[in-house]
Amino acid sequence: MYRRVGSRWGEALALGHLSVLTSSQGDTDAAEQLLAASVLAFRETGDAFELAIGLARLGDVALQHEHVERAHAYYEESVAQYHRAGLPHGDPILLHNQACVLRQQGEIGRATRLFQEALTLYRERGDLAGLAHCLCGLADLALGARQATLAARLLGAADGLPRRLLRGWVWPGERSLFEPLVARTRSALGESTFEAAFGEGQSMAPEHVAADATILAEDVRTPTRLRPRRQLA
């Protein structure tokens, strides 16, 4: 229909929605092709905001396939398009996933700052899942930098959110991200030290314990794999 009336913008939007639908049906290759076509069409229309969203989604796909350099390029261009659209902070999911890429590239300082920036935006929006993902990302950085006590406090802060990642009911993707980090941190510290630091984090505001993670910008360790948050649409 959009093609029939000559609306390239409408065609781009429809291709993006078809990509989401196709992905939900399990055909990831076709979904990626539709998404790439949507991005190309939005590029032609000059709609910086929709282009930024599409580029970020392409970055997510690349990161899921462990194409780190390609993901980095998509995310960087997405940020530039958000700036063009008058949104200098972009989308917090984009910032979080950029941090995941930078972590894998060993750029600890930039990864830390992006996790912190994303956390601030999530807090402003009241997105508890986003807060938890950023705290877990910072905890993973802390553990890699041999700051296990800080990692335990960050994990405690995540668990202290109303959705409660460890002892409450949450969606499986969050538990599969959170629980291995808890186990690794507990192993690094020992039971009593872990419980003390974890409990301290539970009583702290997320932004306060996240601010303590600034120390990670001064340390660089071997990168590990972090999964991106998924765009829902």
Tens-digit pLDDT profile for residues 6-57: 577 777 777 766 676 676 666 667 777 777 788 888 788 888 888 888 887 8
Together in a domain, 205 and 103 = yes
DSSP string across 9-62: HHHHHHHHHHHHHHHHTT-HHHHHHHHHHHHHHHHHHT-HHHHHHHHHHHHHHH
Together in a domain, 73 and 167 = no
pLDDT per residue as tens digits for the range 170-179: 544 556 668 8
pLDDT band at 3 (very low <50, low <70, confident <90, very high): low
Instruction: Note whether 7 and 19 are within 8 A (CB).
Output: no
Q: Which of residues 42, 58, 90 is at a domain's end? A: 90
pLDDT per residue as tens digits for the range 82-101: 778 787 666 788 888 888 88
Together in a domain, 7 and 59 = yes
Mean pLDDT of 147-169: 78
Write the single-letter amino acid at 33.
Q
The larger pLDDT score, comparing residue 159 to residue 63, is at: 159
Instruction: Note whether 70 and 40 are within 8 A (CB).
Output: no
In total, how many domains does the chain have? Answer: 2
Instruction: Note whether 151 and 142 are within 8 A (CB).
Output: yes
Q: Which range scores top for mean pLDDT: 56-65, 151-160, 214-223? A: 151-160
Domain of 140, in residue numbers: 91-221
Residue 221 predicted with pLDDT over 50: no
Together in a domain, 102 and 84 = no
Instruction: Note whether 114 and 134 are within 8 A (CB).
Output: no
Together in a domain, 24 and 114 = no
Predicted pLDDT at 224:
46
Q: How far apart are CA 140 and CA 181, in angstroms?
A: 7
Q: How far apart are CA 95 and CA 79, in angstroms?
A: 9
Please indicate, yes or no, whether the overall pTM of this predicted structure exceeds 0.85. Answer: no
DSSP string across 176-222: HHHHHHHHHHHHHH-HHHHHHHHHHHHTS-HHHHHHHGGGGGG----
Together in a domain, 212 and 104 = yes
Q: Is residue 229 part of a domain?
A: no
Predicted pLDDT at 24:
64
Residue 220 predicted with pLDDT over 60: no
Of the candidates 151, 169, 167, the residue with the CA atom closest to the CA atom of residue 115? 151
Q: Is residue 11 part of a domain?
A: yes
Q: How far apart are CA 144 and CA 184, in angstroms?
A: 10
Together in a domain, 18 and 38 = yes
Q: How far apart are CA 149 and CA 184, in angstroms?
A: 12
Q: How far apart are CA 83 and CA 39, in angstroms?
A: 17
Q: Is residue 233 part of a domain?
A: no
* Angle in degrees, CA 124, 138, 23, rounded to 5: 75
Together in a domain, 100 and 68 = no
Together in a domain, 183 and 213 = yes
